Amino acid sequence: MNTLKHFIIGTALAAALGAPVAFGQAQTATSAPAQSQPETINIPLSRPGEPMSLSIDILSTRMEVIGEERKDVSLTVTLSGGRRKIVMPSGAKMLSGGSAGLEISERDNRVTVESNAPPSPITIVARVPRRAKLDLSTVNEGEIIVRDIVGDLQLENINGPITATNITGSVIAESVNNPITVGLSGVTAGGATSLSSLNGDITLTLPASAKAELHLDSARGEIVSDFELDVKPSKPHIERTEGRSGVSVVMEDVIVATVNGGGPVIRVKTLNGSIKIAKGGA
């Protein structure tokens, strides 16, 4: 029987006026928000040894996800303490804490990390089994770092960088104002890898023996490749999809080039940045 497991981390106002809160430290009037001491929580999985999924969707967070040979999930969390003011007859006092909170849940090998608290920065280091599906999203003052994962990744960071290395599987990564760096250790058939940034550079590293079809679009930047690419004649690329709900037709004016004879399609698109196709190991 699958059970839902909840874990909650939070900061609260000091129990005594002027004292630091649990998980937090006092700060001076001119300092940045106080950082709590790192707190590590181990999350048991409903089906240890089977592929799992991790979803993190927090407004302001630096997250690092590391694949390891393990059967549970370990989360090390650092919260920002924040500041609060209390006014009493004796005067006003500043207190630490009360501005950050986190909720972690696990059900059927799906681990979800959310925060409904005000947008104070949070740092999360997650150690997960290598076979994992990741869905990671943040907006402000954040960074997404992933390494050593076998599975499908969906990464979105509006105002921060994305770095994913030693990945076997598909990667969908989107950023607006910062670079995207992805290193694939294997290109899987049927994958849907797509890297997109509005103002950032994109670096994609492929194994030297990888077979792929690249759809490259850099409107105002240059494209550099360590591979000798077989560039197809320039013409709009049309992709048609038909299903029960109707027909969808997408037309793109992109550079289509194959690596080592071609293979799964990988899309790389940036408007104001440059594209680098790097060659990794065998």
| Confidence at residue 118, expressed as pLDDT on a 0 to 100 scale | 59
pLDDT at 121 over 50: yes
Distance CA 14, CA 217 (A): 53
Across residues 210-216, what is the average pLDDT? 94
Instruction: For residues 109 and 179, state if they share a domain.
Output: no
pTM (whole model) above 0.85: no
| Confidence at residue 17, expressed as pLDDT on a 0 to 100 scale | 35
Instruction: For residues 182 and 93, state if they share a domain.
Output: no
Give the residue among 40, 84, 78 at the shortest CA–CA distance from 60: 78
| Confidence at residue 146, expressed as pLDDT on a 0 to 100 scale | 98
H helical segments located in 176-256: none
Instruction: For residues 179 and 74, state if they share a domain.
Output: no
Q: Predicted confidence band at 12 (pLDDT cuts at 50, 70, 90)? A: very low
Instruction: For residues 119 and 161, state if they share a domain.
Output: no
pLDDT at 279 over 80: yes
Instruction: For residues 98 and 183, state if they share a domain.
Output: no
Q: Name the domain boundary from 98, 129, 160.
A: 129
Give the residue among 222, 4, 235 at the shortest CA–CA distance from 108: 4
Instruction: For residues 62 and 157, state if they share a domain.
Output: no
Instruction: For residues 172 and 215, state if they share a domain.
Output: yes
What count of other Cβ atoms lies within 10 Å of the Cβ of residue 59?
Answer: 18
Q: Name the domain boundary from 61, 96, 129.
A: 129
Q: Predicted confidence band at 236 (pLDDT cuts at 50, 70, 90)? A: low
Q: Predicted confidence band at 84 (pLDDT cuts at 50, 70, 90)? A: low
**Side-chain-side CA neighbours of residue 80 (13 Å):** 19
Domain extent, residue 164, equals 152-282
Instruction: For residues 118 and 197, state if they share a domain.
Output: no
Instruction: For residues 102 and 49, state if they share a domain.
Output: yes
The answer to the question of residue 146 being in a domain is: no
| Confidence at residue 14, expressed as pLDDT on a 0 to 100 scale | 32
| Confidence at residue 2, expressed as pLDDT on a 0 to 100 scale | 53
The answer to the question of residue 177 being in a domain is: yes
Q: Predicted confidence band at 27 (pLDDT cuts at 50, 70, 90)? A: very low
Instruction: For residues 108 and 159, state if they share a domain.
Output: no
Instruction: For residues 282 and 164, state if they share a domain.
Output: yes
The answer to the question of residue 138 being in a domain is: no
Distance CA 130, CA 263 (A): 25
The answer to the question of residue 136 being in a domain is: no
Instruction: For residues 117 and 162, state if they share a domain.
Output: no
| Confidence at residue 113, expressed as pLDDT on a 0 to 100 scale | 94
| Confidence at residue 221, expressed as pLDDT on a 0 to 100 scale | 87
Whole-number average pLDDT of the chain: 83
pLDDT tens digit string along 149-198? Answer: 999 999 999 999 999 999 999 999 999 989 999 999 988 887 789 999 99
| Confidence at residue 16, expressed as pLDDT on a 0 to 100 scale | 34
The number of distinct structural domains making up the chain is 2
| Confidence at residue 240, expressed as pLDDT on a 0 to 100 scale | 72
